[in-house]
Amino acid sequence: MKMQNKEIVDFLNTCVSMKKKSLPVRLAYAIKKNVVAVQEAASAYTAEREELIRRYAKKDENGEIMISGVTGTIVVKETQTIPGYTIDPAGQSQTVVVNPADTQTLTFYNQPIGGVEIIKVNEADRTERIPNTTFEIRKVDDELIDTVTTGKDGRVFVSLEDGAYYAVETEAAEGFQVDPTPHYFEVEDGKTVSLTVTNKAFSGILIHKVDADTREGIYGVTFLLYDANNNPVGQYTSDNQGYVYIENIETGRYYLRELENEGYILDTQRKTVYVKSGETTLVEWENTPIMGQIQIIKKSADDNPINALPAGTLLEGAVFEVYDKAGNVVDTIVSDYNGRAVSKLLPLGRYTIREVQAPDYYSINPTVLTAYLDYEGQIVTFEVEDNSVSTGVSIKKTGYAEVMPNQPIRYTITGIGNTSTVPLSSLKPPTCRWTVSTGETRCPVRCSFPRWLPAPTTSSSPTRSSTRPI
- Which domains does the chain possess? 5-107 (no CATH), 113-199 (2.60.40.10), 204-287 (2.60.40.10), 291-386 (2.60.40.10), 393-465 (no CATH)
Task: State the DSSP code for 425.
Answer: G
For residue 399, what pLDDT band results from cuts at 50, 70 and 90?
A: confident
pLDDT over 70 for what percent of the chain?
73
User: Is the pLDDT higher at 111 or at 142?
Assistant: 142
- The answer to whether residue 228 scores a pLDDT higher than 70 is yes
- Whether the CB-CB separation of 232 and 225 falls below 8 Å is answered with yes
DSSP character string of 89-136: GGGSEEEEEE-TT--------EEEPPEEEEEEEESS-TTSB--S-EEE
For residue 406, what pLDDT band results from cuts at 50, 70 and 90?
A: confident
pLDDT for 452 equals: 35
Task: Please write the tens of the pLDDT for every residue from 99-129.
Answer: 887 888 888 877 767 889 999 998 878 888 9
- The answer to whether residue 431 scores a pLDDT higher than 60 is no
The residues, ordered by sequence, that sit 6+ positions from 209 with a Cβ below 8 Å of its Cβ are 217, 218, 221, 238, 242, 243, 244, 261, 285, 287
pLDDT for 384 equals: 95
The residues, ordered by sequence, that sit 6+ positions from 470 with a Cβ below 8 Å of its Cβ are 393, 395, 416, 418, 424, 448, 449
Q: Report how far residue 444's alpha carbon sits from residue 403's, in angstroms, rounded to the nearest whole number.
A: 12
Residue 297 burial (C-beta neighbours within 10 Å; 0-12, 13-18, 19+): middle
User: Is the pLDDT higher at 323 or at 48?
Assistant: 323
CB atoms within 10 A of CB 362: 25
The residues, ordered by sequence, that sit 6+ positions from 169 with a Cβ below 8 Å of its Cβ are 133, 134, 135, 178, 179, 180, 181, 197, 199
pLDDT for 269 equals: 87
Mean per-residue pLDDT for 431-457?
40
Q: Report how far residue 193's alpha carbon sits from residue 143's, in angstroms, rounded to the nearest whole number.
A: 19
